[in-house]
Structure 1
């Protein structure tokens, strides 16, 4: 079923969409639309307004989100296996309890988003802004992460083991019990190198410039 340019805001559609069909939403207004528990496997959302849209417990396996978005989208407890988000505004989105196996976020605005408590084997993120986001306990183990801002994000308990961070920023990020063993951080801005952050970076690979900055902060000059 296709929806083109329709105003579906404030409607309860969760149990009204036919099952067994692939639904396509193009340039629709889904502000505060109730899609709780909806069958949306393989659905496409193209340039849709998704302000406060409720996708809780929805089946979004393989769904494609491209452009559009909005504040406070709710994905709690949804199934998002193989879903993809490209150039979507996911600011303050909630993913607690969602199944995020093999989900990709590319070019997304995810300021203040909460992915803590999500399930699955991990997700991919690139060229996205996760400033002030909460990723507590998430796994990005072995991932190649490029162009991501984690400024002031809560990365407590995250697993970055063997990950590669390129053109990324970790300025002000909370790193309590975060794992960076064998992670390649040579392309990352590590922020102020205080003792707590250095403990988190134990086992990681850094470059000479980063090492010099750490030593200089402690009054040590390398010649």
Structure 2
């Protein structure tokens, strides 16, 4: 199956299916089983995948613009360079997923599980990651300007050379996180846990520190 725009596949079992470069624009895949499927470069523009299981699926460079991905299980999935702009991501599971170089500016990822995810060079500016689980995630070189990370769990996360300019990190847990060379200009770190964090070479100009003081 390589072309089936607007098709209805609700709750269908497509485990391990070869859907590489398939045209599934505006298709209904709600609740579908797509575990281990190949959806690399597939066109899923505007598709409905709410509640679908995409565990370990390959979505490299897939177009998911404006798609409904609420409650989708992407655990271990490969989404490198996928298009996720304007996608609905509420309640999605992205544990251990590969999201390298994905753009999710303004995304609502409140409370989402991103633990162990590869978020290298991801763009999450102005996104809402309030209370998100980012334990052990790799955010090397990520762009997180003005991102809401309040109460986020970033224990052991790698934020080396990431941009967190004006990010909201109040009450975030950054225990043992790597912040080497990270841009934290004007970031809000009030109440954040920085125990054991590596801040070597970090730019903290104008940042509000955990104790409420402003860094020079």
Cα distance in 2 for partners of 1:209, 1:142 equals 19
Cα distance change of structure 1 residues 64 and 191 upon mapping to structure 2, 3 Å threshold: farther
Cα distance in 2 for partners of 1:180, 1:114 equals 21
Cα distance in 1 for partners of 2:207, 2:141 equals 24
Partner of 1:55: 54
Cα distance in 2 for partners of 1:117, 1:199 equals 19
Deviation at 1:177, TM superposition (A): 0.9
Q: 5 Å matches for 1:99-138? A: 99-118=98-117, 120=118, 122-126=120-124, 127-138=126-137
Tell me, what secondary structure is at the counterpart of 1:185? coil
Equivalent residues, number = 212
Cα distance change of structure 1 residues 187 and 26 upon mapping to structure 2, 3 Å threshold: farther
Cα distance in 1 for partners of 2:29, 2:107 equals 19
Task: Name structure 2 gaps, 5 residues minimum.
Answer: none
Cα distance in 1 for partners of 2:190, 2:29 equals 39
Task: Name structure 1 gaps, 5 residues minimum.
Answer: 217-221
Contact kept in structure 2, 1:90 and 1:111, CA below 8 Å: no
Deviation at 1:156, TM superposition (A): 0.8
Partner of 1:139: 138
Contact kept in structure 2, 1:66 and 1:86, CA below 8 Å: yes
Deviation at 1:40, TM superposition (A): 0.9
Please report the TM-score for the alignment, with normalisation by the length of structure 2.
Answer: 0.83
Deviation at 1:96, TM superposition (A): 2.6
Deviation at 1:121, TM superposition (A): 7.3
Contact kept in structure 1, 2:121 and 2:141, CA below 8 Å: no
Runs of 4+ in structure 1 displaced over 4 angstroms?
A: none
Contact kept in structure 2, 1:125 and 1:148, CA below 8 Å: no
Deviation at 1:209, TM superposition (A): 6.4
Cα distance change of structure 1 residues 117 and 139 upon mapping to structure 2, 3 Å threshold: closer
Q: Which has the higher helix share?
A: 1
Cα distance change of structure 1 residues 100 and 199 upon mapping to structure 2, 3 Å threshold: same
Cα distance in 2 for partners of 1:13, 1:72 equals 18
Contact kept in structure 2, 1:88 and 1:109, CA below 8 Å: no
Q: Which has the higher strand share?
A: 1
Partner of 2:8: 7
Cα distance in 2 for partners of 1:103, 1:173 equals 23
Please report the TM-score for the alignment, with normalisation by the length of structure 1.
Answer: 0.80
